[in-house]
Structure 1
Amino acid sequence: MPDKETKAMMGTEVTPRGKASPDSKDSRPSVFHNIKLFLLCHSLLQLSQLMISGYLKSSISTVEKRFGLSSQTSGLLAAFNEVGNTAFIVFVSYFGSRVHRPRMIGYGAVLVALAGLLMTVPHFISEPYRYDHTSPEDMPQDFKASLCLPTTSAPTPAPSNGSCSSYTEARHLTVVGILFLAQTLLGVGTVPIQPFGISYIDDFAHSSNSPLYLGILFALTMTGPGLAYGLGSLMLRLYVDIDRMPEGGISLTTKDPRWVGAWWLGFLIAAGLVALAAIPYFFFPREMPKEKHELHFRRKVLAIASSGVSKGRDTPSERSPGDSPEKQDGLAQVAADLTVIQFIKVFPRVLLRTLRHPIFLLVVLAQVCKSSTAAGLAIFLPKFLERQFSVTASYANLLIGGLSCPMAILGMVVGGALVKCLHLGPMRCSILCLLGTLFCLLLGLPLFFMGCSTHQIAGILHQPGTQPGPGLFPGCMEPCSCPSDGFNPVCDPSTHVEYITPCHAGCASRVVQETLDKSQVFYTNCSCVVGGGPVPAGSCDSACSHLVLPFMLLVSLGATVACVTHTPSFMLILREVKKEDKTLALGIQFMLLRVLAWMPSPVIHGSAIDTTCVHWAQRCGHRAVCRYYDHDLFRNRFIGLQFFYRIGAMVCFALVLVVLWQQDKEAGTKAAVCSSGPQQQLLLSGPEKKPEDSRV
């Protein structure tokens, strides 16, 4: 830092009542020399960044339908956000005190905005969405190709598998590759935003204000995922090709299983917000004066120092204002003096040393289990609600963003308040974590029974509850030339039987009923339906639609209780790990959470969901998106994975409690032995201290 700026900063601190000295005029020509303004900008940036990161989770089922992806592929797509993040997060510890942090945050935000724009490219390079692939290009969708017509007069559209060419396949791979590349860049761009922002606030805010500022930062940014689901709820009500609507409009409603919302539009909005939030970071200084409110604290400390109480020892206020916590920390000071090669060589040893701490290892494993649960719910809960309770994607996102996310924030606030107000030590923090995980487990038990079996689907499931498998289509549609890979479901309301297309129901005609606000499509002259119809277009509604609100209430209560344990679990790490290892221990913790939870969990959940599929759509001879699931298997395996991870977290917290109880017992025994006499204390403390130091 230039000498002029240093003098100005020192002059700002020593003048009474916050009046700046003449030297400070050059150091504060701009409003950007204000930590409160940085706090506001960083809160807005992290909020918009979490919106763009969480928006994919709100529209994952829509992206699956649009591009024909399986749940495993979509889970891998969501996990690629963490791949780019994990690859670079370790180097933040090395470069933290060597770079212009605000500018690095600005560069990262620009990369995040570009990644968000890249996510929308597949929409613009793809052909318009055709929800009825059996119709020829020159024929209106949902017209003759979906009806039961005699073989001689039926149109002969080329099947979708036959229309595949090397160009079509290459274009599909290009689209999927762009999505994966955008997610990777999004993860890379988010690397410097949070750690550099937190350290910058902690360095230049007053020591007593720093916890308050960080609390405000976390509280505001936690609303980002909720806003992402709310944005998804709004965007998915719009048709995907709103910018290139076909002539005559479309006959789909949002409840139609073929409906695809404008998933790409939310990325444009969120990317624009991130780009706007990135602009101020290029005007903040590399270092700024300490906050003015340090004056009262400084005078108080100087008064104590002048009385001789703190003579011979540097007080926090006597340190240079430019000294960051990293420079005052022993281990961080050593890391700052290392070259890149030396840092890479020493990091595995520090990692192994940190992992040998039993409390740290067990708490991180418990947090891995909790984060795996959160990852599975965040990505696939909207799809679960759509399939299990026959709700629209928009309504599912509205429930999650309006109910689960605020309840989770409430749980974090309650957890922090309990730790602060009750002055909880490590033992009580572990008890609180154990009880919270147990209650979360109990709240999840009723979820296994809140749902219905898959309704009867002609040609796929003959009787609900039987072993799923392909069956024969009814003989009433044999005179029809029905496409084998068509999908335009209709429902017989009298028998609650669903047919894949009107052709499979033997329907020969189509009627559109116009109302004031929407149009309803019906199919008539159906040979497979008692009375010949009419039957409405769309899938049959679930018999358990009324259970969606109780289900979400239990999920939200479980999220609240789980988030109560968030702060106590972090306190266990901060209070049990040695002071010089805290910074690097937290970095290792976040790295392990990404590698062990946020990367594999979406793929595991997606693979489990794919095993419950009973009817796959075909694209160029390969299976694409799943059309129908076995609801019982879907519910049991999805909720079962949540149950499995919560049991793992509970076991880890129980072991933490055992280790802490054993440590307290050993400490009590040692204190009793040491109190027998000064001579025995001297003999015992010598040999016992040495192996402990060597172990650490």
Structure 2
Amino acid sequence: MIHPSEILRANSDGQSQFSAPVNRHRQNLDCGLSAAPWLTKKLSLKRFATPAVFVTVFACLGLLQGALLSYFRGTSHIWTQHYYFSETAMTWLIHLNEIIVGVFAFIITHWGNKIHRPVWFGGMAMLQAIACITLVVPEVFEPHVEELPSSSNVTNLCTRTTSLTTMVEFRESNWVALGALIIFQLFFAFTSIVFYTLGITYLDDNIEKENAPIYLIIPLATKIAGKQLGMYLSWIPTLFDSPNVFVTGMWLALSVLIFIFGFLIVLFPHSLPIMLIEKEVVTLLNLANNNREANQENVDAQAEPPKKSRFLASFLRLVKNPVLVVNTLAMVFMLTALINFEIYQNIFYQLRFFVNVGRDLSGYHDPLIAQIIMNIIKYPFIAISLIATGLIVAKTQPAAKSLAIFNVAIYIIAALLYVSFVFSRCNDRINREFDGKLTIPLCSSHCICKDIQFQPVCTTQGNVTYFSPCHAGCKTVETIRGIEIFGNCTCGANVIERTETTAVAGSCQKNNCDLYWAFAQVSSVMASSILASTIVTNLMINLRCVASEDKHLALAFETTLLGILPYIPGKLVYSAVADSTCLARGEDSCMFHSESFGLFFSIITVVLMAISAILATVVIMFIGNLNLYGSTSAKDYDVTMEDMEEIRRPSTTNTPARQNENTNQNETVSRDEDRRLMTNRDDNHIDDSEFTETETEQNSNQHPNRGITSTNADVHNESTSNKNKKSTPDILESDF
């Protein structure tokens, strides 16, 4: 072990002594509230400034973030109807935060890292909590109006005329609510940015690099788990038939908890104490090795004009980094496929497997099989995959090239799983689908079936699948043992005579279709779970392939591309395919699509995944021997913060008084060192020259990166052979 006192040797002369800025990083230990230092001292907040405590608070905030997002999206069908937004507007509103993330990632990250990462992170979370509360205002001041429903748009039954009971009051969208929703999404996006770019880099800077894979993935895994919690919470308004979404205990509780944990994040210092020790020791060692040369560089650096734009220089380094750019593009193509598949998957399942999945994004009304596969096991499987991969990478510490190869393998497996969607479909067909259009059957031509949602039924006579009970001419409905039975249907076995019959909810090939649907859902969950493991590997590669001072902007670069490309050009491509294959168009959305939609939808998804795998293969060629886990840790040094405070350095000002003081200090240190060396010589029977030569050689062999020397002359000689270990100019600034 190395003690700081061993750095100062006995026979150093005044002209070549080095400066030891032991208090250089003390200002970074700013725990608590600067406005109330007495409270910080009284509560001993510094003892909570540890990586374990920060990870705990960080993970709890991630859990709340995920729950809030899932609840907001799961209840979108309720607040959309309340504020009279179209379905298209709802689709863009629920994904608006992702686009805002891509637009503002660089700006928010740059300023947050420049000011104070924990304060910026926690402050954004607190502002987000306040924005959550503002959504209560439009819901309170705009009461829910019960519309006069028609029998057709409630039960999808056949009706002959448009009576007064079918009139719907047309109202304009609530622009105040729209503004509040946009503000909420804006601050949610800002918090999402700092959560990933500043929170992750702050944690990475304050933990041992070999443990980084598991520490960094815990907050991301809890955020995924939070989506499961938020989905269950979003079922409560539907379960109790409540029209309120934001004036509820769930929403208000989540908002208050986010504010509290954001405040706790603010209390953390600029750097955790455990890393300050390492920074102090490394600073001393670097100065001991490169004293004269570093001091000269400090003078030269001070004479140079300041750089015009550090941000621009960092950005240029990022775009010229082939590993970062290509690896991020591989992630972009994969995420574009996954995100847009999730957005349009209900349409795909409806078309291929004739299931009525509805418009409810919470999944509350999904069939039992979908409840089990998609709503119960999906998010837990993804979170478990993240944690397991982080543990394995942290324990085995595979090389960077191995992680890149792992990414390629996972991308290929995921693409193969989605290839099955090209061929997955049940053998059934909707009656009266001709020439790319869906027409009303002759047997139900007397029914008004405009804007009827897809709800397939199978007639008991003839086994013909119709688009809805209205299209089958059914007028009544009753539920027997959980099965909907539609009666008085005019479409059946004998169409000409119009004999009335019954129909059952679901397609005529329901058992076969449900089996294929379950297989498709299992494939989707498996692909999502294994792809989650690449979050760990990609994060490690993107953090380590850039300079330490560029890490936050590297994640901002990744976040920018992942926020803009999948949700704007990617979504526009999928949307164009959906619009061009529409068979039955309603008032503001398409009710049913042609078979070609499923084919194009599957092929586009697989092609994007294949491109991602190709780009990931290119990363293997560029990545080289990238060091992912570091080589220096604080535990290598037997040093405490108290040791740092005991070391003082003489000023480099060449005044007679200071030179005299420095001489006295050197003489004192020299006498202490001589006594210690004499004692060691008597105990171990070696002379001073042997001690100096032998121990210095051993130290240099065992710890080549530390480079401890015995005299200032040795420091000068050692510095000429270690030009690549120069200290940066700002480290040499005086603290006194």
Q: TM-score, normalised by structure 1?
A: 0.66
Identify which of 625, 639, 646 aligns with 2:609: 646
Whether 2:592 is the aligned partner of 1:585: answer no
Structure 2 matches for 1:516-531, cutoff 5 A? 520=484, 522-524=486-488, 526=490, 530=494, 531=499
1:354 corresponds in structure 2 to 318
Q: Work out the CA distance in 2 between the residues paired with 1:374 and 1:267.
A: 32
Measure how far apart 1:278 and its partner are.
1.8
Deviations 1:95-119 (A, max 9, x none): 3355465554444234434555666
Identify which of 42, 60, 63 aligns with 1:44: 60
2:334 corresponds in structure 1 to 370
Measure how far apart 1:312 and its partner are.
0.7
Whether 2:192 is the aligned partner of 1:223: answer no
**Structure 1 residues 178, 539: CA separation in 2 closer, same or farther (over 3 Å shift)?**
farther
1:670 corresponds in structure 2 to none
Measure how far apart 1:208 and its partner are.
7.6
Whether 2:527 is the aligned partner of 1:558: answer yes
Whether 2:442 is the aligned partner of 1:443: answer no
Measure how far apart 1:544 and its partner are.
0.8
1:617 corresponds in structure 2 to 586
Identify which of 560, 567, 583 aligns with 2:536: 567
In structure 1, the gaps of 5 or more residues are 12-21, 136-140, 245-261, 316-329, 619-623, 664-688, 690-696
1:89 corresponds in structure 2 to 105
2:501 corresponds in structure 1 to 533
Q: Work out the CA distance in 1 between the residues paired with 2:271 and 2:614.
A: 45
1:409 corresponds in structure 2 to 383
Measure how far apart 1:647 and its partner are.
1.1
2:163 corresponds in structure 1 to 156
Identify which of 260, 270, 273 aligns with 1:279: 260
1:49 partner letter? Q
Measure how far apart 1:525 and its partner are.
6.1
Deviations 1:61-112 (A, max 9, x none): 88889867456x5543343112332343223343335546555444423443
Q: Work out the CA distance in 2 between the residues paired with 1:372 and 1:211.
A: 25
**Structure 1 residues 101, 493: CA separation in 2 closer, same or farther (over 3 Å shift)?**
farther
Measure how far apart 1:357 and its partner are.
2.4
Higher RCO (CA-CA < 8 Å; seq separation 6+): 2
1:494 corresponds in structure 2 to 461
Whether 2:343 is the aligned partner of 1:379: answer yes
Identify which of 571, 596, 608 aligns with 1:633: 596
User: Is the contact made by 1:511 and 1:523 (CA closer than 8 Å) also made in structure 2?
Assistant: yes
Q: Is the partner of 1:534 in helix, strand or coil? A: strand
1:430 partner letter? A
Whether 2:84 is the aligned partner of 1:108: answer no
Structure 2 matches for 1:254-333, cutoff 5 A? 264=245, 269-270=250-251, 272-282=253-263, 286-288=267-269, 312-313=288-289
User: Is the contact made by 2:129 and 2:256 (CA closer than 8 Å) also made in structure 1?
Assistant: yes
User: Is the contact made by 1:230 and 1:398 (CA closer than 8 Å) also made in structure 2?
Assistant: no
Deviations 1:220-278 (A, max 9, x none): 2332233344445x348637xx136xxxxxxxxxxxxxxxxx9x479973563242132
Measure how far apart 1:454 and its partner are.
6.0
Q: Is the partner of 1:402 in helix, strand or coil? A: coil
Q: Work out the CA distance in 2 between the residues paired with 1:54 and 1:132.
A: 32
User: Is the contact made by 2:109 and 2:193 (CA closer than 8 Å) also made in structure 1?
Assistant: no
Percent identity over the alignment is: 18
**Structure 1 residues 488, 441: CA separation in 2 closer, same or farther (over 3 Å shift)?**
closer
Deviations 1:566-621 (A, max 9, x none): 33334443444344444432322222222223444344434433433311222xxx
Deviations 1:363-413 (A, max 9, x none): 111111122123224434455446644265334465234333333334434
**Structure 1 residues 82, 407: CA separation in 2 closer, same or farther (over 3 Å shift)?**
same
1:651 partner letter? I
**Structure 1 residues 372, 204: CA separation in 2 closer, same or farther (over 3 Å shift)?**
same
Q: Work out the CA distance in 1 between the residues paired with 2:477 and 2:560.
A: 58
User: Is the contact made by 2:210 and 2:394 (CA closer than 8 Å) also made in structure 1?
Assistant: no
Deviations 1:275-302 (A, max 9, x none): 213224435665549767789x879x97
Q: Work out the CA distance in 2 between the residues paired with 1:350 and 1:450.
A: 48
Q: Work out the CA distance in 2 between the residues paired with 1:210 and 1:360.
A: 19
Deviations 1:607-642 (A, max 9, x none): 433433311222xxxxx1322233x33432332232
Q: Which has the larger radius of gyration?
A: 2
**Structure 1 residues 637, 225: CA separation in 2 closer, same or farther (over 3 Å shift)?**
farther
2:188 partner letter? L
Measure how far apart 1:55 and its partner are.
4.1
1:425 corresponds in structure 2 to 399
**Structure 1 residues 311, 495: CA separation in 2 closer, same or farther (over 3 Å shift)?**
same
Identify which of 169, 183, 192 aligns with 2:185: 183
2:239 corresponds in structure 1 to 238
Measure how far apart 1:433 and its partner are.
2.0
Identify which of 437, 453, 478 aligns with 1:469: 437
2:448 corresponds in structure 1 to 482
Q: Work out the CA distance in 1 between the residues paired with 2:528 and 2:508.
A: 31
Q: Work out the CA distance in 2 between the residues paired with 1:8 and 1:655.
A: 40
**Structure 1 residues 36, 130: CA separation in 2 closer, same or farther (over 3 Å shift)?**
farther
User: Is the contact made by 1:369 and 1:646 (CA closer than 8 Å) also made in structure 2?
Assistant: yes
Q: Is the partner of 2:239 in helix, strand or coil? A: coil
Whether 2:170 is the aligned partner of 1:128: answer no
**Structure 1 residues 456, 313: CA separation in 2 closer, same or farther (over 3 Å shift)?**
same
Q: Work out the CA distance in 1 between the residues paired with 2:574 and 2:548.
A: 38
**Structure 1 residues 661, 101: CA separation in 2 closer, same or farther (over 3 Å shift)?**
closer
Q: Is the partner of 2:586 in helix, strand or coil? A: strand
Q: Work out the CA distance in 1 between the residues paired with 2:29 and 2:182.
A: 47
Q: Work out the CA distance in 2 between the residues paired with 1:32 and 1:285.
A: 13
1:277 partner letter? I
1:684 corresponds in structure 2 to none
Q: Work out the CA distance in 1 between the residues paired with 2:467 and 2:174.
A: 25
User: Is the contact made by 2:110 and 2:553 (CA closer than 8 Å) also made in structure 1?
Assistant: no
Q: Work out the CA distance in 2 between the residues paired with 1:36 and 1:46.
A: 15
Measure how far apart 1:159 and its partner are.
7.1
2:526 partner letter? L
Q: Work out the CA distance in 1 between the residues paired with 2:173 and 2:40.
A: 60
